[in-house]
Structure formats: C-alpha cells, structure tokens
Amino acid sequence: MLQWLTEKNWFFRLSAYRDRLERWFLDNPDAVQPDYRRNEMLGFIRQGLEDFSISRAGATWGIPFPIGEGGQTAQREDGSWDAEAGTIYVWYDALINYITGAGFPDDPDAFARWWPADLHVIGKDIARFHTIYWPAMLWSASLEAPRKVWIHGWLLAAGGERMSKSRGNFLDPHDAVTAFGADGVRYVTLREVAFDRDTEVSWDSFVRRYNADLANDFGNLVNRTVSMAGRYLGGERPAPTDGGSLRVAWLHALPAYRGAIEGCLLHEALAALFEFVGAANRFVDLEKPWELSKAVKAGDADAADRLRGVLGDLVEACRLLGLAAAPFLPNTAPRLLAQLGYAYPYRPDGNGGPAILDELAWGAHAAVPGTLTAPEPLFPRLDVEPAEP
RNA sequence: GGCGGAGUAGCUCAGUGGUAGAGCAGGGGACUCAUAAGCCCUUGGUCACAGGUUCAAAUCCUGUCUCCGCUACCA
C-alpha cells in the first residue's frame, strides 16, 4: 500500500558541483579507483546531477537539523530543538561524523593532520556517496575531498550469486572465525578475493586456502625452522648471512609486496609474500640442515658454519614474514616473533614502534642475540572439514 | 534501452597477434627438520558459439548465447 507524503525538506545543491566534480575526476585519475568504478561514477556525473534532500520531517528519531526555516538556529533558548526543522538525513550526517571524528572544528591541529585522508576504503554499494555526494559537500564547506577512494567488491556465493539470509547461501563470519581464527579469516578473505572486484567464494575454497597457505606452507615453515634451530643449535638464535639466496629472494619479494599494497591489490600483496614462503621452504630442502647437523656431529667445522648460516637465514625469513604479514595477521605476528626470541615492536592496534620499512630490511637485527622458544604451531591444519553452515 | 565488464585445465584465475599458463585439487617419486606438512615430477583445456581479417587469432573485427556491474526508460 503506497502512501503519498508531502513534507518540508532542506536540499543540498549538488547540481552546482557538476562541473567541478567532472574536473576533479579528470584531473585526478587516481582519486577514485579501480578504473571501471571511476568510469561508472563519471558516467553518473555526466548525465546530470540533481539536488538531494538532506533532512527528514516528522521522524520520531534522529539528530535534529540545526537550521530553522528562516535560516537561524533551530535550537531554542532552553536548549531544546525545534522539531519543525526536521532531522538530518543519515547520509548527510555520516560525513559530519567523519570530519568531527578527525578533529573538525575544535581541534584544528588534529584535523590538519588527518584530513584529507590519504585513502578511503569503501564497498561498492556506497560508491556514489563517497565519490560524488561527499566531495561536493566537503567543497561546499571549504574542505578538501579525500585524496583517494578505493572501492572494493563483494564476496559472492557459488554461481556468482549475492549472499542473502533468505537464500541461505551466506557464510557465517562467526563460524568462519571458530574454524580459522580471526587471523585465518582475514587471510583467506583477503587472499582468495580480488580486492578490486567481486569474487566467488565458498567454505571449501576457504578451507583449501587456509590449509595450503597458512597451515602447510607458512605455519609449517615457522615450525620446522624453530624446531631445527632449537634442536641443532640449542635455541640460541643464529644470525642471518649476507650472501644467501634467501636474501636475494626477499629483495625481490619486498618491492612486489609494497607495490601491491600501494595499489590496493591486497590479494596480490599476499601472493608476493607467499611466493617468498615457497622460496624459504625450497631453501630448506635444498640446504638440508639435518644433513649438515650430522656432518657437524662427525666433526666437520665447515658444516657447523654452514648450518648456522642456513638456519640464520631461515629465522630471518620468518621474522620478515611475520612483520610483513602483520597487517593481515595481527594476532599471529607477535606469537611468531616471540618464537624467534624477538619482541613485537608495535602496539596491538598496529600503531607505534619503528618505521616498518626499517624493520623489513634483511638483517635489520642481525647483531642482536636472542633465544628461540619451543616450536608451537601457528595455524593448526584442518584435517576434517567442518560442516558447512 | 545506453555504457562497461566477464565467459581459458575439476576449482580460483593470469595471459591483448607468433607452437596454451599459475596456484589449488588429482596422480607418481625421492626424502625426513616439520602441522602425514615440505621438495621433485606429472595427468588435465577443440581458450562460450559462428563467421571474418591475417603467413599466424585466446588475443583484432562482426554477429549470437550466457552471466555481471553502472544507469535510464517503459508502466
């Protein structure tokens, strides 16, 4: 049953910003990304922009609109608000929450530091608000638009269908966290899903990805490294060498990782990191520390040096991986570093501590002595696939 | 209706003119430090379909089918 309503609303003059928005898109090709999303928004701008309502009348809830009909404040002398002015449309108020959270207008220093943001990351369903409405609103307040807005896609169910409760084809985040852990969910989601578009996912694809990457490759690499260093060297942390093949592999992996991060292609960033995991695992099988250890016991002095160098390189590889992967595996990173005898240098929220690129230099702490702990699996393998929720 | 994207190995995808690729899954092998993980080798595809251009097409052009995104209109 449709019911026609007539109500008094305030409008934002979006139409006045058409040309400036189009110019902004054209002059700043990176401001809205990926490209095809940018093109969609540009198309919307070019077909013409209409003013849109920013207040609601007669709402029984909501934040009071601050301006009265005559343009004066809608707040009465007793502090109450004139209900006739209406309430603020939530999407208009949302931007106000953003900027006041960043310090506007009472903390100009904080606001100068945090605004405009280097990067807004949003879902594709709210692209128009963040890339058209909000920039125009910000300009109308003499503020700057974000430097870059990245629009990510959705996780789709089998067959490319949108997940929905009514269809029953959704993956329950709580079940996923129970099975994979919070870090595991972060990993499989950001590795399995292309961050610039929609991707089909399934419970099985997550389990396969978790087992193959986190349990078998990464977790096992750390485990075998810590285990061998403890067994062969008594737990004293071996220093990395300066001329090994693992170092060379890292010098290739780090720029690839960094470039993908800066391009917001998080799945490619993780792929670059895990290519290095593979290199480290192959390094183990190539150098065969267990054979070196036997040679050491047989009195081979050269083998002793070699063994320390090989395990030192592997420990260093694990340190670098733990730190580089920390944004994706924030709970695991400190546990990994602890097994290597290193203190995790960042706060739980990721802030504080030294510049990450300094920490990600090969051999950054080569001269620091330390003691490894007993190995403890970071990502237990899921042998039996949990029942699909 | 307009604009745009996609259709390549069982799965997820890369590959924009020069003899089809990766990861995972599957199969085999040699090892043994390790979470029966890791390493090595390997099976597997008329590149949606039909035409065309070219010495040569997954790649360029035309048409068709299917799916998806943005947007509009009809009512």
DSSP bridge pairs for A12:
A52
Q: How far, in Å, CA of A344 to CA of A323, rounded?
A: 8
Q: From CA A23, how far away is CA A145, in angstroms rounded?
A: 13
ipTM: 0.89
- pTM for this predicted structure: 0.90
Q: Is the CB of A264 under 7 A from strand B?
A: no
Contact positions of strand B to protein Cβ (< 7 A): 2-5, 11-14, 23-25, 31-40, 67-72
Q: Does A162 contact strand B, using a CB cutoff of 7 Å?
A: yes
A164 touches strand B (CB under 7 A): no
Per-residue pLDDT of chain A (389 residues; tens, 9 = 90+): 566 778 888 899 999 999 999 999 999 989 999 988 999 999 899 988 999 989 988 777 888 999 988 889 999 999 999 888 889 988 888 999 999 999 999 999 999 999 999 999 998 888 999 999 999 999 999 999 999 999 988 887 766 677 777 667 778 888 889 999 999 999 999 998 888 888 878 888 889 999 999 999 999 999 999 999 999 999 899 999 998 999 999 999 999 999 999 889 999 999 999 999 999 999 999 999 999 999 999 999 999 999 999 999 999 999 999 999 999 999 999 999 999 999 999 998 889 999 999 999 999 999 899 999 999 999 999 875 443 33
Whole-number Å distance between alpha carbons of A157 and A177: 18
Cα–Cα separations (whole angstroms), residue A80 to A59, A75, A117, A160: 16, 6, 35, 51
Distance A19 CA to B2 C1' (A): 22
Strands A120-123 and A149-152 come out as parallel
What is the distance in angstroms measured between the alpha-carbon CA of A85 and the sugar C1' of B2? 40
Establish whether the CB of A173 is closer than 7 Å to any nucleic acid atom in strand B. Answer: no
